[in-house]
Chain A
Amino acid sequence: MTAMTPTTTSVVTTPRRTPSVASPRRRTGRAFVAVVLIGVGVAFLVPLAWIVLAALDPAATVSVKLPESFTLDNFSQIMTWDQTFRPLWNSAVISGGTAILTVLASVLAAYPLSRYQMRFRKPFLYAILFGTCLPITAMMVPVYALFVNLGLLDNVPGTVFFLTATSLPMAIWMTKNFMDSVPVSLEEAAWVDGAGSMTALARVVVPLMRPGIAVVFIFVFTQAWGNFFVPFVLLFSPGNQPAAVAIYNFFGTYGTIAYGRLAAFSLLYSVPVLVLYLLVQRFSGGSFAMSGAVKG
């Protein structure tokens, strides 16, 4: 098991409980571990709790506290097209477009990489692997300069193309590894029946790797959905901005006076990602989101 990326997650594997003959003082050790774990859990929970509690608090402050009364006013106040729905819709368009394009391009690209022995296959895979590591955020200034020259600033398709290109290396890598696990013999049967390679891909391979494709789709969608820096630099008219940028602008304008609404918006914006994350675990059956990045 190469930990190219994390594996498992619902959330952590259940260890085999082999009774140990050679482990004295187990009880005190376990109590100590439990205390430390509870401490860590609380420390991690507190910032998360602020989002939920502040969203339900009519008088939310910057500090976490139990609200004196619970309200949904924070949510109802932000239920406007400009404030919430348009940014969320833009996010859906950008992330959806990115995920669809990425999946299409990477399924096509993975097929020759997985099925044919070609001279450049190895260098290409190395280049892909290299691309998965590049610190993309470091590149936003030259990306901006390039987009100025291409006339693609404040252009949603341009942003989608850029996000697609940056997610392709990882997506191709994952898709190829998923495809490797589909036996070739099934395609051979299709070839004998007269199917071309693209027909075999569409009719045989893709249906067999549907869970893998779903994992890649969700992985790319989630990354694009959570991306702040790319749209922050490339899109500047409010009509084009996704939720990540809208929420930042809101924070700059009203954040210090309207923490409740900020938290409510944060919750609405985070829920899709959390749901998709749970879905991934369903699809990948316990083995984690990116196990496609690992040869199984």
Chain B
Amino acid sequence: MTSLVLGARTPGGVRRPRRRPGRAALRLLPLLPAVVLMAVFLAGPVLWSFYGSLTNQALTGYRAAAPEFVGLDNYTALFGDGQFWKAVVLTVVFVGASAVVGQNVLGMALALMLRATGRVLRSVVSAIVVVAWVLPEIVAAFALYAFFATDGTLNNVLGWFELTGPTWLITFPMLAVILANIWRGTAFSMMVYDAALAEVPPEITEAASIDGATGAQRFLRITVPMIRRAISTNLMLTTLQTLAVFTLIWVMTGGGPGTSSSTLPVLAYQEAFKFAQVGYGTAIATVTLLVGAVFSIVYIRVLKPEVD
């Protein structure tokens, strides 16, 4: 990585004569363990992702040991594959509905309501919401599987009202996993927005309400502009987290029935390990990675002042 290259060049310290050569290199030494680990196990897979997507590596057999370089064949196949475009649409729907709309709107609503209620209710409700977020992902996935299962809690509750619920995980798998991801991730947005709202001086909203602004006007014209940085960072983070969701979908629906809830990470896994097309799965992973990278760059631009 760059640090090493620049570290080796430090006789550039020549320009600043007081520094002994080698001193700067010595100062960089503590970075070494972290840089080596990240170079091998983080940059390594990223580079491998690009390389591997250009081969026809299989999971087992001859093509597993000696994959051939096939150029852009995987991508040509990918972009002509209806399955891939379906997964892209499902991923956009999943991220849009569960993260951008679901978690953000519910998180904001909860943060606002919790600030406007008594202490007991505030602690109890926020603790429940946060526990859903702190639990290991697989446990959350089981809990939600039980909730949406055909004989599960939701249909039982509907039964009290003489309603017969559908088989949620089979008939509406996307709806089930979207609601599940909202349940799982809302706490994050709630805490971000609660912290941001705590920073808005009450005098300003107070002044606005004396000037006759309604609640909605105060929120849209004063509160939202004042916390817009929190909103944009939170939108980015929830998007990136949701883009990478695998466990929740895998446990609840397995991507199915068929591939009707296979988002990109699930499809990459299925192609590689179910259909033994490691090269093809790697190409899907690379596309997902690139999408994530674009969002990350936007996010970093938002956070730029933090580094400077």
A interface, CB within 8 angstroms of B: 1-9, 11-16, 18, 20-23, 29-30, 33-34, 36-38, 40-41, 43-48, 50-51, 54, 61-65, 101, 104-106, 108-109, 111-113, 116, 118-120, 122-127, 129-131, 133-146, 148, 161-162, 164-166, 168-169, 172, 197-198, 201, 222, 225-229, 233, 244, 247-248, 251, 259, 262-263, 266, 269-270, 273-274, 277, 288, 295
Contact = CB atoms under 8 A, between A and B. Distances in A.
Nearest to B106: A40
B266 to A, nearest CB: 10
Given A23-B209, A41-B128, A106-B34, A141 B3 contact: no
Q: Top 8 nearest A-B pairs by Cβ distance?
A: A6-B191, A165-B41, A133-B296, A226-B136, A138-B288, A135-B244, A142-B49, A7-B195
A101 B130 CA distance: 28
15 contacts: A3-B192, A7-B192, A11-B126, A11-B129, A48-B135, A64-B153, A123-B2, A130-B300, A134-B296, A138-B265, A141-B282, A145-B278, A229-B250, A266-B139, A270-B136
Contact of A50 (B113, B143, B192, B278): B143
Contacts of B307: 122, 125-126, 129
Nearest to B145: A62
Contacts of A45: 128
Interface string B137-164: 1111011111101011101100000000
Contact of A164 (B41, B116, B202): B41
Residue in A13, A104, A130, A270 with the greatest tally of chain B CB atoms within 10 Å: A13
A63 B195 contact: no
A274 B134 contact: yes
B57 A63 contact: no
Given A119-B6, A134-B292, A13 B195 contact: yes
B123 A11 contact: yes
B116 A30 contact: yes
Given A129-B300, A233-B273, 10 more contacts: A7-B191, A30-B116, A44-B129, A51-B142, A65-B156, A133-B236, A138-B285, A139-B285, A168-B42, A269-B136
Interface string B51-64: 01100010000001
A31 to B, nearest CB: 10
Contacts of A125: 307
A125 B308 CA distance: 10
A8 B297 contact: no
Nearest to B227: A3
A250 to B, nearest CB: 10
Contact of B136 (A6, A64, A228): A228
Interface in B219-268: 229-230, 233-234, 236-237, 240, 243-247, 250-251, 264-265, 268
Contacts of A244: 136-138
B268 A138 contact: yes
Contact of B143 (A13, A51, A104): A51
Contacts of B190: 6, 12
Contacts of B278: 141, 144-145
B114 A164 contact: no
A5 B134 CA distance: 14
B199 interface: yes
Given A14-B119, A137-B245, A165 B191 contact: no
Interface of B: 1-3, 6, 12, 24, 27-28, 30-31, 33-35, 37-38, 40-42, 44-46, 48-49, 52-53, 57, 64, 106, 110-111, 113-119, 121-132, 134-140, 142-147, 149, 151-153, 155-156, 183, 188, 190-196, 198-199, 202, 206, 209-210, 229-230, 233-234, 236-237, 240, 243-247, 250-251, 264-265, 268-269, 271-273, 278, 281-282, 284-286, 288-289, 292-293, 295-297, 299-300, 303, 306-308
Contact of B233 (A2, A136, A247, A277): A2
A141 B272 contact: yes
Contacts of A108: 30-31, 33-34
B137 A228 contact: yes
Contacts of B140: 47
A20 B208 CA distance: 12
B146 A64 contact: yes
Contacts of B300: 126, 129-130, 133
B296 A130 contact: yes
Contacts of B38: 131, 165, 168-169
A162 B41 contact: yes
B194 A13 contact: yes
A10 B241 CA distance: 23
Nearest to A201: B30
A1 B196 contact: yes
Nearest to A107: B30
Contacts of B126: 9, 11-12
B273 to A, nearest CB: 8
B110 A139 contact: no
Contacts of B240: 133, 135
A17 to B, nearest CB: 9
A2 B307 CA distance: 12
Nearest to A11: B126
A58 to B, nearest CB: 17
Contacts of A119: 6, 12
Contacts of B289: 134-135, 138-139
Given A105-B33, A138-B285, A3 B139 contact: no
A138 B264 contact: yes
B177 to A, nearest CB: 14
